[in-house]
Structure 1
């Protein structure tokens, strides 16, 4: 893997030049600068918005088939340019080759999924008549793209999340301004180039690089915003969107539990635990960050996990298969991880493996760490970690495990490991989380037919499924009535003979038997006819 310095994320042709300031991009595994990106101020973002709004009607007019053709071309383009994308992804994230391959797998899947299903999810929906006042009317709801969508992406998965969230927005017919993290802004510029080479009109997909002020400027000019990141920042984005009365979809923090039952396949459980906690060095929103293990199998589970974590190789990913765990992307995150370990030890936890930053290297690494004798007084069990920690807690039974799993302000994802799939599904229903896996984890990302989102402070809105693309659209209800008769029964002027029939018919349709008995024969006949037409 090369780490040559490049100036990337330059403004697209015709875009604002932004400020003269540039962001240095550093490989967290080596400490070397690998490139830079411009800083877009509010004026530059406003210019991107104007270009996006000008380009969007033509993109929408291409229809689902025309947009799907571009997305399928991009699927092929990304496959053909995988080596280039992997090189820059590894350089700006410091992650291992295999984790970077998984990052490419998601958009390659998503491009095909939304190309196939966008029209199905967004076709007009029929509605049945639910009142006598809408009989003989044609009732339809329609989905129209908002127009200009803002995507604000985090640093841990610049393509999977940044571009991945853009795909359904684009498939629906929107233009997109993507604000990548200032930490990892380089790879998404390759994506922008690829989209234009695949036939996407200029201005439909644009990038605004910069820090928090740039993100705020994006929220100020778009019609809808999709944000992924911390709960604290998500609150600010949501508040800003609320001030503008624009919709916001927020995927925020998590503290995902794993419950290991006594009947579990312990080898699979241990492998799930180690992978789920250390993939991408634990910097995944769906990472497993706390473990509850039934007492009968606790010792054996811990023994297996310790052996597997001790065998992990960590370092600079110089070649495929060379290491298992890469770098910590930001210095602040490294401090968060270490602070949680120190807090746990101070409160009585024991470190069985790891427990400190890797010393004597230029990059940022934290040793994969197993903690035992943990409880919910410790930050490692209550606060989001985003690092390679495995705090393991012994529980008496499944009920205690579920209670502890739900003892959190977060609710993003969870895992249950058991040989009894029916029991696993039943326990999944009791977990307060947006996504729950039985004997699996992380693969929710690739189940694009299922909604994926959080509850509690883990967010608002979902990815995937019908809701995952409809959120990028405004819903329009259309009622079409026949042009005859000239007047309906409730039209003016009021009539002393007709008005009582109106009341009798309505109460006869919905009211009690005694009320119906007092209705006139004509009103009863009207009510019976209405019941038949409404299918009651």
Structure 2
């Protein structure tokens, strides 16, 4: 829509104030009416046009890997799919976890690779940090337009490397990163503008502000569950703040990162006229991650398990490197007795089985009122038994794909067995699903289990799997106790038609995020910071807090009226002090002038004038 079209629309819009007809019969009033309408239309039109106008964008192209193309049937099926082969150290074996097909073998990066990459990133950042926000917005808009044009290819590449469905890719890979870019384009500059603060009465003649300056090279060690979004989320934030970015992607998704996603980032920078060395992608095992953490980068974001997170936190503490840890969750949903299950069950199904349950804010625990428990189990169980599971790029209409990591099926079966042995009721699933055509696929049957208690493994350990785990409660305080029984404290939800009771439960939950009558939407509100407490980590990304978190905050004061008022020390306070007693009286009276009551302030003014004129002649009292 052109600006002229927008204005034409606004002139006929109810937004424009109307002048009564009887008044407009007068020529002068007609002119006033026209001028008023034109001025209003100009203001509103400019605001609307600015909002709908995209930022400048430069198109670019990145070839899609053959293995992600429709109809690809190549790649031998590995007899024992695993990313590591003991006979080939230093090599990452890439395969499709939903079929076991071999995708390729990639050399794992070493400490030497990390050190060299950091040097290249630092050199590129020296020029990038001098770019304007307008130049950075061109990069982000170009990236956004590429994603919108190539979202199918991105989802297919992600599905091939992780086993997720295309719908899960649209939700978790595309929608989330598009919203991150949109928010950054619209509000990132405002978040990084100098922030002015009240200097206080004592410093009334000063300007006080905070400047947000890029830290240098921001590193992100990201998880494998959403390889595209997890990579580009921290990358977008780091670049817009003026940093270079080093991404250490999981070895579980080495193929997609190396063959497509890293090429997108570098091609986007290059076509926009910037050094592609601004972004460095490292792929490797534990030694590679340790090398990144200890390399001397200026800030680190880690997304992963608590076990590895503790090591990262310890290393960054030793190096005094700023760090954000997002360590997963055991997210709870409390369902009150007054809930409309017809509306709630579909949302809880998506929250549980999205990406086969491999979500840091996925629904891991459902705590439901005993009065509606049986109805809920009946409704959810009926749906779960109908879920279709299989390799999403080889079969159509799949609800659930595979697990991404090998070896997880046995762990999950052990968790289910532990729960059943302690009194839980297994309604459906609870075991490996062997696909008739792809028996090497890493599938776990969509599961429904109820009558859980907080002492069970399934109640405490992060499952990261397609398991709907249900608890019962009779009172709200009992529900709160169950919800807070986990050491994980990332996200949460409360479903209740009684908003007072819903708010009461939310207020008692020890978590970093919460939603009332919804699931996970705080991650789609990119204006909000994302993160948890307790074993779910610390620090935040997302929102103004996240983009400022990859900056150095510098506090600055300046003279407000430099030609009129500057800091002046009276002679009694200047070194060497002739009479320390006078200096003590002056500082005492200065404090009283600022902070004492009006009587004390008035007395202090006279005292300080007296000292400045004739001195106090008071000795220093020790």
The one-character-per-residue Cα deviations of 1:33-53 (angstroms, maximum 9, x if unpaired) are: 112322111011100000000
| 2:568 counterpart residue number | 487
The Cα of 1:508 is off from its aligned counterpart by 4.6
2:555 matched to 1:477?
A: yes
In structure 2, which of residues 290, 294, 309 is the aligned counterpart of residue 220 of structure 1? Answer: 294
The Cα of 1:447 is off from its aligned counterpart by 0.7
| 1:173 counterpart residue number | 242
Q: For the Cα contact (< 8 Å) 1:85–1:187, is it kept in 2?
A: no
The Cα of 1:2 is off from its aligned counterpart by 4.5
Larger radius of gyration: 2
The Cα of 1:192 is off from its aligned counterpart by 2.6
Q: For the Cα contact (< 8 Å) 2:480–2:508, is it kept in 1?
A: yes
Change (3 A) 1:20 1:353: closer
Count residues in correspondence.
513
| 2:265 counterpart residue number | 195
- 1:285-364 → structure 2 map (5 Å cutoff): 285-318=360-393, 322-359=397-434, 361-364=439-442
| 1:455 counterpart residue number | 533
Whole-angstrom CA distance in 2 between matches of 1:127 and 1:477: 10
Whole-angstrom CA distance in 1 between matches of 2:253 and 2:155: 13
Change (3 A) 1:38 1:497: same
- 1:404-415 → structure 2 map (5 Å cutoff): 404-415=482-493
Whole-angstrom CA distance in 2 between matches of 1:178 and 1:36: 20
Whole-angstrom CA distance in 2 between matches of 1:525 and 1:169: 57
In structure 2, which of residues 327, 333, 336 is the aligned counterpart of residue 252 of structure 1? Answer: 327
The Cα of 1:442 is off from its aligned counterpart by 2.1
Whole-angstrom CA distance in 2 between matches of 1:129 and 1:252: 39
| 1:398 counterpart residue number | 476
- 1:434-445 → structure 2 map (5 Å cutoff): 434-445=512-523
In structure 1, which of residues 270, 292, 313 is the aligned counterpart of residue 345 of structure 2? Answer: 270
In structure 2, which of residues 595, 599, 610 is the aligned counterpart of residue 510 of structure 1? Answer: 595
Q: For the Cα contact (< 8 Å) 1:78–1:194, is it kept in 2?
A: no
Structure 1 range deviating more: 143-152 or 485-494: 485-494
| 1:105 counterpart residue number | 175
The Cα of 1:387 is off from its aligned counterpart by 0.6
Whole-angstrom CA distance in 1 between matches of 2:249 and 2:165: 21
Return 5+ residue gaps in structure 2 as ranges: 1-69, 76-87, 612-622
Partner secondary structure for residue 463 of structure 1: coil
The Cα of 1:181 is off from its aligned counterpart by 0.4
The Cα of 1:511 is off from its aligned counterpart by 4.4
The one-character-per-residue Cα deviations of 1:52-110 (angstroms, maximum 9, x if unpaired) are: 00000211111211011011001111222223222211110011110011112211221
Whole-angstrom CA distance in 2 between matches of 1:525 and 1:415: 66
| 2:197 counterpart residue number | 127
| 2:461 counterpart residue number | 383
Q: For the Cα contact (< 8 Å) 2:114–2:288, is it kept in 1?
A: yes
Structure 1 range deviating more: 179-188 or 515-524: 515-524
Partner secondary structure for residue 462 of structure 1: coil
The one-character-per-residue Cα deviations of 1:484-516 (angstroms, maximum 9, x if unpaired) are: 557324443435545413212313533478966
Q: For the Cα contact (< 8 Å) 2:92–2:254, is it kept in 1?
A: no
2:146 matched to 1:71?
A: no
In structure 1, which of residues 179, 182, 188 is the aligned counterpart of residue 251 of structure 2? Answer: 182
| 1:155 counterpart residue number | 224
TM-score by length of 1: 0.90
Return 5+ residue gaps in structure 1 as ranges: 7-18, 527-536
| 1:533 counterpart residue number | none
The Cα of 1:466 is off from its aligned counterpart by 0.7
The Cα of 1:131 is off from its aligned counterpart by 5.4
Whole-angstrom CA distance in 2 between matches of 1:525 and 1:409: 64
Partner secondary structure for residue 156 of structure 1: coil
2:108 matched to 1:39?
A: yes
Whole-angstrom CA distance in 1 between matches of 2:597 and 2:209: 32
Whole-angstrom CA distance in 1 between matches of 2:493 and 2:568: 60
Whole-angstrom CA distance in 1 between matches of 2:335 and 2:495: 5
The Cα of 1:523 is off from its aligned counterpart by 4.6
| 2:213 counterpart residue number | 144
The one-character-per-residue Cα deviations of 1:283-324 (angstroms, maximum 9, x if unpaired) are: 000011111111111111111111111111111113686110
Structure 1 range deviating more: 116-125 or 498-507: 498-507
Whole-angstrom CA distance in 2 between matches of 1:147 and 1:336: 41
TM-score by length of 2: 0.78
The Cα of 1:193 is off from its aligned counterpart by 1.9
In structure 1, which of residues 117, 125, 132 is the aligned counterpart of residue 187 of structure 2? Answer: 117
